[in-house]
C-alpha cells in the first residue's frame, strides 16, 4: 500500500469518526484566539480554556492586556505553565498590534509571524481557524501520526507540513488538521498505540509487529 492509498483510507476513517470539528480553543474574537494559541504551548487546550474562561469576559482586546502589564498577565495565566515567557509574548504582541495594526489581528502570515512569540504554527492556526484561510498547522499530534501512518519521514515539522499538503486536497486542510489532532488525543496517543493498535495504524500497516519510534517535533 502506497502513501496515496493510505491517505484515502485515513480520510475515510477520520470522516466517519469526526464529521464535525469544533475549534478546541475557546475564544471571543480573533485576538483572543491568537492569545489562546500562544498560551497553548506545552500544555493542553483544556488547561488553556479553564484559564481563559475567567479572563476573556473582562479582558479580550489588545489594549486590555497592555493596560494589565506583564506581572498581572502572569498571575492570570499562571495555570497554563511557562507563564513568564507566555505573559511576555501576550503583552508584547498586544502592544505590537496596537502600534502596527490599529489593534486588529493581521490576516496574513508575514505580519502575524512578525509578532512577538508568534511562529509559523501559531500563525497557521489563526489563519485557518480565525480567517478560514487554507492552512495545515502541524502540532506534536499531527507530526507523530503522520509518521505512524507513513505520510512523512518525520525529518521535521516543516517537512511534515509539506508532505501533508502534497497528499491532501487544499479544501480539506482546515478540517483535516483538526480531525488528526482529535484522533491523536483519543486513539493514537503519544504513549499508546505506537503504530500497532489503533484502527488507522492497523489498517494501513496490518503486518507491522514492532513499535514505531517517531521523531519529535
Give catalytic residue positions. 121, 139
DSSP, res 128: I
**Which residue carries 519521514 as its cell?**
153
CA 183 and chain centroid, separation: 13
DSSP, res 129: I
The three-point CA angle 11-170-46 to 5° equals: 65
| H helix runs in the chain, sequence order | 3-17, 30-39, 45-55, 62-68, 70-77, 83-101, 109-112, 120-125, 140-148, 157-167, 173-186, 199-204
The three-point CA angle 190-195-199 to 5° equals: 100
Amino acid at each position: 500500500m502506497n502513501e496515496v492509498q493510505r491517505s484515502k483510507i485515513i480520510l475515510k476513517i477520520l470522516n466517519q469518526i469526526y464529521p464535525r470539528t469544533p475549534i478546541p480553543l475557546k475564544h471571543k474574537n480573533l485576538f483572543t484566539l491568537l492569545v489562546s494559541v500562544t498560551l497553548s504551548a506545552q500544555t493542553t487546550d483544556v488547561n488553556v480554556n479553564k484559564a481563559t474562561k475567567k479572563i476573556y469576559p473582562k479582558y479580550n482586546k489588545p489594549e486590555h492586556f497592555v493596560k494589565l502589564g506583564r506581572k498581572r498577565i502572569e498571575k492570570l495565566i499562571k495555570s497554563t505553565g511557562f507563564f513568564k515567557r507566555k505573559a511576555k509574548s501576550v503583552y508584547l504582541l498586544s502592544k505590537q498590534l496596537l502600534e502596527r495594526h490599529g489593534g486588529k489581528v493581521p490576516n496574513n502570515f508575514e505580519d502575524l509571524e512578525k509578532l512577538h512569540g508568534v511562529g509559523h504554527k501559531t500563525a497557521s492556526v489563526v489563519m485557518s481557524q480565525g480567517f478560514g484561510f487554507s492552512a495545515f498547522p502541524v502540532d506534536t499530534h499531527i507530526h507523530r501520526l503522520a509518521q505512524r501512518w507513513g505520510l512523512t519521514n518525520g525529518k521535521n515539522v516543516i517537512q511534515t507540513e509539506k508532505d501533508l499538503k502534497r497528499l491532501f486536497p487544499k479544501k480539506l486542510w482546515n478540517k483535516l488538521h483538526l480531525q488528526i489532532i482529535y484522533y491523536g488525543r483519543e486513539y493514537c496517543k503519544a504513549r499508546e498505540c505506537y503504530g500497532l493498535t489503533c484502527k488507522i495504524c492497523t489498517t494501513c500497516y496490518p503486518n507491522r509487529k514492532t513499535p514505531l519510534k517517531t521523531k519529535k517535533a
